Amino acid sequence: MKDLKYLFAYTIPLVTAISIHAQGVFTFATPIYAFIVIPVLELIIKERHDDFSEEELSSRKLDRFFDLLLYLNIPFVFVLLFIGLNKLYIETYTLSEYIGLVLSLGILLATNAINVAHELGHRKDLFERSLGKLLLLPCLYMHFYLEHNFGHHTHVATPEDPATSKKNQSVYHFWFSSVIGQYINAWKLQLRLLKNNKRPFLSVYNDMIWYHFFQLTYLVVVTYFFGLTGLYFAIGVGVLSFIFLETINYIEHYGLERKKQANGRYERVQPHHSWNSNHLIGRIVLYELTRHSDHHFIASKKYQILENKPESPQLPYGYPTSILISLVPPLWFGLMNKRLPKA
């Protein structure tokens, strides 16, 4: 019964449905819930330290219930996105209401699309990885699968990784450096794969071309059904979703570095190369993404068996609160620089 707590991840789609069907301030239901209600709950509810026995780890790893919870996000995301774009197309809203709806849909895509895609993208099963890429489609960030799995996890906490934020780098500068850097890296990875397999650029094996084709097709379909208004909002919601993703990237590795060894290679990724957060509500809403130290230590571990790593650097607050603080660079630097490991 205790694992039913992951149903709490569907509260984001629930409040997004309220936003879509509301007017006035209630169109901001999702950002209010994500960045006010959840932080307050995280201050009230104590952290839980779940330690699993070897038998529990084996059982939870094979339990399909946890996979089903991920799969259900696909209909939730696409149905709500369709309803939201249709509402934006046919209804007349004030400027503030438009902002509220776009923020709500952007948060929905960031949490229940990109975040779930991240989890599925690490799976060995082709079907699950394909579902992950499908969820990245409306976020206009399909190249994330390629760069994250084969770039970020290899180069994390080094200067070679654009998704690792540097000490005293503002989140606003990071948005540009990470988005542009990861896109360029995705192309470099793709070209290297083609070259290693002796395949031409114009090949069915060029996934980057497919990603652009699918995303362009998605935008054409949106334009066909919802006109230019729908197109603008689809682009806005997609961009907002990956901006939220990059803000999470920012707080997950801020200022952390791996040592370069005498042979020129960087030390192996360890739990202390990612910031950890064990705040309960953020954990279950984001399918344990906040236990990021264990995820990077063993990237293949499914979310339901990720464990708290108390030896890793700890975020003083959960992800929603940390995101808000990061938007005020002096406040973020003052909070986090003194917590950076000395060595």
pLDDT in tens, 200-214: 999 999 999 999 999
Between CA 110 and CA 99 the distance in angstroms is 16
**CA dist 142 → 79, 133, 182, 286, 298 (Å):** 20, 6, 11, 19, 23
Which pLDDT band, with edges at 50, 70 and 90, does 46 fall under?
confident
pLDDT at res. 274:
95
Q: Say yes or no to pLDDT of 72 above 90.
A: yes
pLDDT at res. 45:
87
- CA-based torsion, 242, 15, 80, 224: positive or negative: negative
Q: How far is CA 114 from the centre of its chain?
A: 5
What is the domain extent for residue 35? Answer: 2-256+263-339
Between CA 54 and CA 64 the distance in angstroms is 18
For residues 41 and 19, is the Cβ–Cβ distance under 8 A? no
CB atoms closer than 10 angstroms to residue 287: 24
Number of folded domains that form the chain: 1
- pLDDT tens-digit series, residues 289-325: 999 999 999 999 999 999 998 889 999 999 999 999 9
The pTM of this model reads 0.95
Q: Say yes or no to pLDDT of 154 above 80.
A: yes
Between CA 341 and CA 313 the distance in angstroms is 7
Between CA 143 and CA 65 the distance in angstroms is 28
- pLDDT tens-digit series, residues 16-30: 999 999 999 999 999
Q: Say yes or no to pLDDT of 343 above 70.
A: no
Contacts 24+ apart (CB under 8 A), 189-195: 189/146, 189/147, 189/150, 189/151, 190/146
Helices (H), the chain: 11-20, 29-32, 38-44, 54-62, 64-71, 73-90, 95-109, 115-121, 126-136, 143-147, 153-155, 171-196, 207-253, 280-285, 292-297, 319-326, 329-336
